[in-house]
Structure 1
Amino acid sequence: MVQLLARELAGVAAPRLLDLGAGTGQVALSMLPALPPASHLDLVDQDEGMLRTALDELGPELGKRTATVHALPAEKFAPAQPRYQADLVTCCRAFHWMDRPAVLAMADRVAAPHAVVAIMGDGSLWTHQAEWTVALQGLIQSHLGTDRRAGTTGTYREPGRRYEDDLSESAFSDIAEHRIPFTRTWSPRSILGYLRSTSFARPDLFADHTAFEYHAQELLLQHAPDRVLHEDGVFTVLLARRPGAAR
């Protein structure tokens, strides 16, 4: 993914990366080794706590690069610099939560003529169909009910439209899809930490979160006697640009 995105910035001496739904800065951290020293990163997220974590993680790795965080909804991003232009706009595992047409309209206002919008994701352990993930989903449902929780109070609903449909009706209607297979390894402990960060199994949803984590660890150990679990998946990247923009 990093190599794919870095190719879109080839020849740009001082690129600006605009990361939407940035969370704790994982996209920015991954991209840093491929970015030249004069790069600037803008990280946008509604969660100030996650952005503070992002700055803590990025700080020691930035070198001469600079980074700014913006605690607001993605569609509300408005650069202070009058001639601001983003060379690459990224959104990883967050586009489904957003007002997608409004976000793409904002991107059209702030992106350089040659800029690419990259919408990326790989699902979650909730959607992954392995024996151990199906069993884990069943345990979560036994505590929280059959509907997948999402947001602060509601349940998850599949998007009524594909991301490609949103992009095709935006300024960025020239779309290329890239599918990158991967194998990810987990330990039971890392899965419990991951679940705490999700909208479908975060601690405050449970009447007794300690009991849930105890049973979850027991279940995971049954499926991983060597304490290693495998997730085989596909990371999908949609690269969208304005028609006629140089590739």
Structure 2
Amino acid sequence: MNAFAGTSSYYRRFRPGIPADLAALLAHETPAGSPRRLLDVGTGPGLVALALAPYFDDVIAVDSDPTMCAEADAVLRPALSAGHRLQIGHALAEDFEPPAGWQPHLVTCGRVFHWLDQRHFLNRLAEYVAPGSVLAVFSDRSLWTAASAWQQAVRAVVQEFLGEQRRAGDGIFGPDGPPYEEVLRASAFCDVTTAAIPVRREWSIDEVIGYLYSTSFAAPHLFGHRREAFEAAVADALTPFLDSGFLVEDNAFTVLTARRPSSRGR
């Protein structure tokens, strides 16, 4: 099941990228290399890779959805200089095989770790990463889990149209597994550090609707002929919360950076 079917163009236009402070943190944590290699897993339309491109020479961006791969190519290729090398891979993260001899210095999992077979992915990753390489797992709160009054009002509208349970495309969002830090500490990447990067955003009502259509829980096709009614209901719910024409969101990226301990062959 592709939980994000039909969302790729909305994801590209309406999902926020990562803040500059997060990109700088990940670049600082990554060992030097020439060329310096980035593997962006679950790249979507390439937003993470785009933010990190100034720090890396050789980028592979991987996604299981071919339409996301096409969006990533359209975003990344024009933005990279002639000195960059870019490859877009259509593959499951758990099945991805890098080119022979290619070892990433940084592997990024932005907003995607929940969707992976985590232990399988980590075991596979341990087979090909460079010595001393860094795995970064990070995400911000989605609109479904955010706690501000206007975000809760929007979630209530989604539930009115699609039901109380959180959707994942045509299915239901799976239960949370163990905490990510626990999963990482049980893997080869058991040297884990945590950080939080705050971010403040301003949204218009149209941007909120576009964001919703980028998610698995409010993908456009789920509303069928009721899309116009849904959009009108969202606008009605949000109008009382507008501040100078915008909705203010305070969010934060939770960031886990993980390495192998030095005793394991660094």
TM-score normalised according to structure 2 size: 0.87
One-letter amino acid of the structure 1 residue matched with residue 221 of structure 2? D
**Structure 1 residue 10, shift from structure 2 partner:** 5.1
Which position in structure 2 is the counterpart of 1:137?
155
Deviations 1:188-228 (A, max 9, x none): 11111111110111111114111101211222222115221
- Choose the corresponding residue for 2:235, options 217, 230, 239: 217
- In the alignment, is residue 65 of structure 1 matched against residue 84 of structure 2? yes
Which position in structure 2 is the counterpart of 1:198?
215
Aligned partners of 1:44, 1:10: CA distance in 2, in Å? 21
Tell me the C-alpha RMSD between the 2 structures: 1.6
Which position in structure 1 is the counterpart of 2:125?
107
Equivalent residues in 2 for 1:1-247 (5 A)? 1-9=22-30, 11-35=32-56, 39-63=57-81, 64-81=83-100, 83-150=101-168, 152-207=169-224, 208-224=226-242, 226-244=244-262
Q: Which has the higher strand share?
A: 1
One-letter amino acid of the structure 1 residue matched with residue 216 of structure 2? S
One-letter amino acid of the structure 1 residue matched with residue 233 of structure 2? H
Give structure 1 regions of 4+ aligned residues with deviation exceeding 2 angstroms. Answer: 8-11
Q: Percent identity?
A: 40
Instruction: Give yes or no for contact 1:93–1:123 (8 Å, CA) kept in 2.
Output: no
**Structure 1 residue 13, shift from structure 2 partner:** 2.5
Instruction: Give yes or no for contact 1:16–1:40 (8 Å, CA) kept in 2.
Output: yes
Deviations 1:99-148 (A, max 9, x none): 00011112101100110000000120111111101111111111111101
One-letter amino acid of the structure 2 residue matched with residue 21 of structure 1? G
**Higher-RCO chain (CA-CA 8 Å, sequence separation at least 6):** 2
Task: Count residues in correspondence.
Answer: 242
Deviations 1:153-177 (A, max 9, x none): 2212332211112111111000000
Q: Which moved more, 1:155-164 or 1:125-134?
A: 155-164
Deviations 1:21-48 (A, max 9, x none): 110000001111233xxx1111111111
Instruction: Give yes or no for contact 1:183–1:230 (8 Å, CA) kept in 2.
Output: yes
SS at 2:177 equivalent = coil
TM-score normalised according to structure 1 size: 0.93
Aligned partners of 2:202, 2:262: CA distance in 1, in Å? 41
Aligned partners of 2:104, 2:174: CA distance in 1, in Å? 31
Q: Name structure 1 gaps, 5 residues minimum.
A: none
Q: Name structure 2 gaps, 5 residues minimum.
A: 1-21
